[in-house]
Amino acid sequence: MKKTSMLLLCVIALLTVLVVLGLPHRNRQSGSSSAPDSTASSNFTSIEPSSQESSAIIAAASRQNEDLYIVREYDGHIGVFREGDKHPFEEIDIDVNIFPEEDQKLLHDGIQARGTAELTRVIEDYEG
């Protein structure tokens, strides 16, 4: 009896897998129930880029996000500068004097941030 039950369970599981994997996936159009089914097409290719193409893509993406920013004291509060600029493109209205001496020195000297993600992290450290 156990063998029969196990065999039946295996057959049901196998049929379920075959039905799920074997049937084409169809998207139903919303609207009236008389609308015909339409199959979705995709232009996806599973061919991965070569290692040289991947390196070029990664290098291009990292170059776009490698702008250098300087977070430093500006008129008693925090200013955010692009590399080489004399005036900040963003000012954060937080008095620098509320920070410990070590942080005040860092802000006086300027904290470099490479890219917007690092800049956001530095600003968040001082905002809250």
Per-residue pLDDT of the chain (128 residues; tens, 9 = 90+): 666 766 666 667 666 665 666 655 444 444 444 445 545 555 555 555 555 555 555 555 555 558 999 999 999 999 999 999 999 999 999 999 999 999 999 999 999 999 999 999 999 998 87
Residue of 44, 43, 26 lying closest to 35 (CA atoms): 26
Q: Facing residues of 42 across strands?
A: none
Q: What pLDDT does 12 receive?
A: 79
Give whole-number Cα distances, 26 to 32, 46, 113, in Å: 16, 21, 49
Q: What pLDDT does 27 receive?
A: 45
Q: What pLDDT does 61 receive?
A: 56
Q: What pLDDT does 73 receive?
A: 96
Q: What pLDDT does 66 receive?
A: 80
Q: What pLDDT does 32 receive?
A: 46
